[in-house]
Every structure is written in C-alpha cells, then in structure tokens.
Amino acid sequence: MSTVIGIDLGTSNSCVAYIKDGRPVVILDEEGRNTTPSVYTVNANNEPVCGYPAVAQAGMNRKNTIFAIKRFIGRKFNSTEVQDAMSKLPYRVLPAENGDAWVEINGVPVSAEEVSSHVLIRMKEIAEHYLHEDIKRAVITVPAHFNDSQRQATKDAGRLAGLDVLRIINEPTAAALAFGMNIIDGKDVLREHVNKSFKERSRSDRMIAVFDLGGGTFDISILELRDGVFDVKATNGDTFLGGEDFDLAIVSYLIEQFKKLTGRDISSDKSVLQRFKEAGQNAKHALTDVPKVDVELSFVQGLEHMKITMDRKLLEDLCKAPLKRIEDPCLQALDDAGLVPSDITDVILVGGMTRMPAVKKKAREIFECDVWDTVNPDEAVALGAAVQAGLLQGYVKGVSLLDVTSLSLGIEIQGGRTHTIISRNTTVPTKKTEIFTTSAPNQPQVSIHVLQGEEDFAPDNKSLGRFELMGIRPAPRGVPDIAVTFEIDAEGIVHVSAKDLDTQQEQRIEIIANSGLTDYEIDKMLREKRIEEEQKRARDARRERDAELAAKADSGKDDDTELREKKMDLKTAIFMTQVKLNTEGKRFKGRGRVILEDCLTTARDVLANARDAGEVAKVLKDLQERNSALEEYLESLW
C-alpha cells in the first residue's frame, strides 16, 4: 500500500510528514530543511517556480511573486478581507467570472486553488524524493474556522496537484494529535512533566487548548484527551489574523519614521513597501532571540538611507491591535466549551508566530497558566496530519478523534433571518430535527435555504444550497408540520431533508461543497498540466542533449576562451546599465548614482585590462548588485 502523507499547507510555510514505524516523522527536503515557503511564481520559460527558489527571485520580480495565497482561497473578491488586503500587496488581485479572488502572474489570471496546488506539488515532490516512491494520497490541514468553500477549495488544490485528499483536518486538532502521541522532540512530555503538576486529576485526563497563530490565520481549539480519545469541545478563530498583520504594523511604523526623516510619503510605492516588509520581518524574527535590533535600509527609491533601532517593548506596542484580536476567539472557545481558564491543563503553542515573546505572554494571560513551547511550531500540524493519515491506514492504534463542526448550520426563515439547527462546536457525526410550518394560508410548497455561519441576518451567512418541498395540502397558516432534519456524517458531508408529516412528502439534498471552480475547470487545468509536463520533459531531454554536446565541445576549452566569455558578459552588463542611466534613470540621483557610476568606471577598466576570468566575474557580480538600486528606482516610477 502506498504511503499517505500529511501536509500542513501554511500561509507562510508548508511542511510534510508521514508515519514511520508507528510514529509521525517530518520529511526533509533535498537540502535537509523541514519547511518550504508557500511562495510561487513562473520563470522566463513560463515554468512554475515554488518554495525557496521563488523567494530568492522575489526581490526582482515582486509583482509576479505570490505569497500568502491561503488568505484568498475560497474567498470572494468583494469580501471585506480581500479588499483590505489588496492595497498592501505587491501583486495584483482581481475578480474571476464567478466572483472569486484570483491573482495575476505575468498578466495571466490564476486561481488561488491553482497557486496552492503548486505548493502542494512541491511538498509531494519532497516526499517522493525522500521516500523513493510515487505519492498519490494525502491528508491536508486547514484552519479550524475555514468555511465550506475554503475547505473544498483546499481539496480542489490537492486534486490539481495530483493528490487524492482522503481527509481535511483542522490544524489545531492535528497539533493536539501530535502532542498526544508523545512525539514532541522525542520526549515523553505527557508522563514525565505534565502529570507531575496535576496529581489531583486523572492521569489520563487532560483538557488541552491548542493556540495556533501562523502566517495568516489564528485558531484556538479546546480538546479533551482521555484514554487515547481526542474529543474536540470547541473551536474558534480568525481566518484573517496572523504574522502578515504583525508585519504590516511594523511596516506602518517604518513608513512613519521614513517620513519624519525625509518628509516623503512612500506609502503608495509597492516596491519600497515590500522592502520595508522584509526588513520588518527580519527585525521581528531577530527580536525573538535578542532584546534589541537595528533596522537598516539603503538607497530607498535609489536616494535615501535609513537606520532605526527597535526593541521588544516597541514591537509589542506596535502590535497591540493584532495581539488584542487574539483574545475574543479564545474566550469564546472557552465559553462554548463551558469552561473557564483554570480548567485548562495544557496550552500548546503552534505556528511560527508563537515564537514571538509578546504572543507567548498573551497566551499565558488568557489561560492563566504556563504554555508548552517545547513543540516545534513549524512541524506539529504536519505531524498531526500524518497521525490522521496513519489512523486512516490502520498504522496508528489506540487513538481516536471526535471532531466538531466549526460553524453553525441552519435555514432561512420568514423575515430573512437565520434559524440555527446545528450549533457550532457540535460533535460530529450528528443528526438533529426541528419542526417548522407555513407562513401563509394554503401554501402549496416551502423553500429550504441552507445556511452556514453565525449571523442573524441570512444574507450575511454562507449559502450552501436550496431545495423545494412540494405537495403540501391546503391548510391555514401555521397548521402544516414540516420536519427539517440536518445530518453531518463522519466525513463532514451535510445531508438536509424536509418532510411534510401530513402527506409524508419528502425532499432531500446532499450539500456538495463548492470552491468556485467547476469540475470542468478543474479537469481542464489537469489536462493542461499534463500537456505542460510532457512539454517540460521534452525540453529537459533537449537540454540534456545540448549539455552533453557542449561538454564535448568544451572539453578542450582553454582559459582564454573563458576570459573572452566573461568579458562579453561584462560588456553587455555595462552597456545595459549605461543605457538605463541615460534614459529612464536620468532622475536617479544622489549617492546611489555616484556608487553605480564608480562601479561602471571600474568595470570598464577591468574590461580593458583584466587577464583573469575570476577578476572579471567578481566585477560583473558587483555591478549587478549595485544595479539593483537603479532597478528599484525605475520600478518605483510605475
């Protein structure tokens, strides 16, 4: 039987794991790294580039490098969250024909599902390289508060990646599975440490809060662990709260400081904003380990140099708003579970943002206890996904999972209001029936509009489907009894039925989740992907043949030939840089221009006199690096 992998498809980074000898193990990439950036672009040959190579080229290709796509998957373009995020991104977000939020890469509209599929393809490739086998099946994690469309969109991304997605599992639930399996850093955490502090409690009874703050989403789940059974009591969260929001708070501060220093407002310059964001991220990461850090930015818009000092206190002050937003979901989850903070025995920190000291402090304040930071926040969710994969395959024994529905389900009633039938945080599988009646005399039929969400006003919730119950006998208003039944099975599929108890007429509907992409569109993308793979294989074969021929031709190449080639590259670089300076770069002034012109002078001297290919290559590299300030200035003019 082929291996089923577990994938944590993250906003900032993704991770993959599998079950080995009954235990989950993270799969490392070819360079020994445990995570892969969830970043995607295409190269000059229109070939997909994902992960670390995509990050490496982002500085020179900001408008076509897509990151944080998880924030848009399954969302509509006109949603408040998408509209708020658009102005802060270097790439373009645009509406699809069905109203979904898509992105633009090299002028081509691309769905969030397709971008996510390339991240999943990269994770699949890492697993295949590590395990030396074809991978066809996976368990993928999503934020606990993802709605029906977002979950199905993630599943469609898996399908586009060539994966059979056996299960979509909530991220905090996955992290709790990993914790309960005693696989944290190879230590027997539960027996050796936790139980010593809670002797008055049952040694197998834990009430766990999983605090999951990642790059783009926040989840909090309350689970009870008893005798190997994980019973999810409540879940809550914010699908638009994460490291991106902390980064933006730092960027706003850097913009303000730059304006104080220079008098110039660069808030509309997307290329500079991206540089500020990268500098802010680096400062945020550094302040996890050190109390103070310098933020330096050279040649902003090709002109200015800025250096400021940040410390942890300043960072915490800047991030007060996103830190405050963490509180309400946590308190609501406790309330939904019928608990108070003192009932929680363990708080598990998951997600890269939980490394930030201010976030740890906030978690301690909310739950009034110490938190577990021995969990590797980058790996816990993927490890838990692998545990779920192991459960499905029968490789993991003695563990079972009782999950909940994260959002309420109900129907629209008179006045455009929502009537909830299955409340959020109800354990699944579940079934519930309620009796309704007609709103008008002699009403021959009723319309059942199925909704998902917590809002009182029906249009503010997610519409899952509609159907009609016909054949109701003529009767005064309020006389007929209509039994409406909601059922959620173990796979999370929702079945809704309506039955006239007088005539026994009945109608049923199975809610088929819809991501926005139709089956035709997905099949078309899969066909195009297969064609692209065949073309890529053909190109790679040609390149191998050309490389072999070139190697044979170069076998007798001497040093003079290499020197001539390096000088030709340097001559081209000098010419292109001078043309840019004399045309679009006429207004490129200040220290940046002086340094670049000095570099050009040195390059011309080396071109004329150098006798060593290594010397020429060094000057060429220096010229290319100095040229980046000019490129940023030209980009800012757009």
Positions marked catalytic: 8, 70, 171, 212
By three-state DSSP, how is residue 345 classified? Answer: coil
d(CA 269, CA 276): 11
Q: How many CB atoms lie within 10 A of CB 462?
A: 16
Closest residue by Cα to residue 248 from 272, 212, 273? 273
Report DSSP state, residue 392. H
Contact 160, 29 (CB under 8 A): no
Give the dihedral sign, CA 83/88/93/94.
positive
User: Could you tell me which residues are beta bridge partners of residue 40?
Assistant: 50, 66
Q: Measured between alpha carbons, how far is 323 from 117 in angstroms, rounded to an integer?
A: 31
Single-letter amino acid, residue 499: K
Q: Residue 606 phi/psi, 5° resolution?
A: -65, -40
- List the structure tokens of 128: 């295949």
**Residue closest to 486 by CA, chosen among 424, 410, 435:** 410
Nearest alpha-carbon partner for 378 in 239, 186, 215, 150: 215
Cβ pair 570, 576 in contact under 8 A: no
Q: Got the DSSP string for 528-553?
A: HHHHHHHHHHHHHHHHHHHHHHHHHH
Angle at which helices 559-582 and 591-609 pack, to 10 degrees?
Answer: 150
614: helix, strand or coil: helix
**Collapsing DSSP states into helix, strand and coil, what is residue 241?**
coil
For residues 371 and 209, the answer to whether their CB atoms sit within 8 Å is no
The β-bridge relationship of strands 506-511 and 494-500 is antiparallel
Cα–Cα dist 121/317, whole Å: 40
Question: φ, ψ for residue 433 (rounded to 5)?
Answer: -125, 140
357 CB neighbour count, 10 Å cutoff: 14
Backbone angles phi and psi of 473, in degrees to 5: -65, 145
Q: How far apart are CA 331 and CA 328, in angstroms?
A: 5
